[in-house]
Structure 1
Amino acid sequence: MKNKLKTIYMGTPEFAVPGLEALYNSGHEIGYVVTQPDKARDRGKKVQFTAVKEKAVQLGLSVLQPEKIKGNEEFFKILKAYNPDLIVVAAYGKLLPPEIIHLPRLGCVNIHASLLPRWRGAAPMQRAIMAGDEYTGVTLMYMAEGLDTGDMIAKKTTPILRKTAAELHDEIAELGEVCFPNSFQIWSQGILSEKNKRIAYLLMLQ
């Protein structure tokens, strides 16, 4: 592929797996997959991989599982040495410090499980259901130092109807995957100025 992007993917639960698969299938390079540390689960206290780690291992990708990312100089040095063009985040589980947000040339983008700006923060899908919203969906957005405050790139919606939380979870996870193709095509061209690239992305994704 011409103009391959160097990317890092950060995610943890099952929701983040379709996004990782979409990034992998795009043909762009994934230097590292970053996910939460493995934890003991169930009565047997057997240590289990996160859903994202399981998929990353299947795909033969390098996995990083830092206990913390804020103030973790060793972890940051690894990311900086890789020099990513783009970092993609989906339900990673921790806020990214400014030095990571501003590291990639094309920024960090987040797959957020709701239609921003209505529901920011944790459990947005559940909050949409509890509020009686007619629609929910996914938002692809740039990450900023605030909580879900970055510029929006694309949205995909779905009616809530009588769907269970589990059904909506799976549907929204798949919606995140379909936000990628046009975005990656534009990013990989690398011909837009920093000043106008976000407006151009929004227009071309309509």
Structure 2
Amino acid sequence: MHTNKMLGNSIEPGIHMPQYIRLLSDMSLMAGLIGYFEYTERHEIADWLEDPSGRIPDPRVTSHENHEPLSEDSSEENRSDEGLSSATGEHRTDVSPWLELLIMNQWMFTLGDADCYPSVPHGHCKSKTREWPKLNPYTGRVFSDTHKEDASQRLSKKDMIKIWNDSKFIEHCREQVLWYSDFAPSYGFPSARRGKLAFPRWR
């Protein structure tokens, strides 16, 4: 594993939950795992979770509520041809199959998952072998198929706060981001406007 390269052996106690989302989003953007559109949305989610007054509205409510498939140019979850081949090709065999984490007794996250949709990492309902639905933990969105969100399963603010206060989950996310960076080093998103080598300011 590569955890020591980034933040040390353990979760840093001085970082609050929304900062983890920002930190992992920065890592994902720099590694080319997400485009700028999703990067921006994740930061909006972090701001919403961090707001104690409740004045910031849920940033997910006003977009894509009609469940229509998004166009290739407008979606943050777009995959390049290379990404598709990585996601549907053979899985790495050098990762132990028991490195799984069940969140909320429903969402299974697996270290070494070669699939990149809808996010890295993402959760499968109950089991890795069940393809749909999938959870994007950064935004709380649940997808029943490619570019088809099931808004009825969207995580609440309470759920988001719960999972992002779980140190094991945060560690798993970080390990999977680093694993995927090694697995598909040239992976990129067509909508990554700032490019794979962009270096955002860490918070």
Q: TM-score range by the shorter chain?
A: 0.3 to 0.5
Decide which structure has greater strand share.
1
TM-score by length of structure 2 reads 0.34
Structure number with larger C-alpha Rg = 1
TM-score, normalised via structure 1 length: 0.34
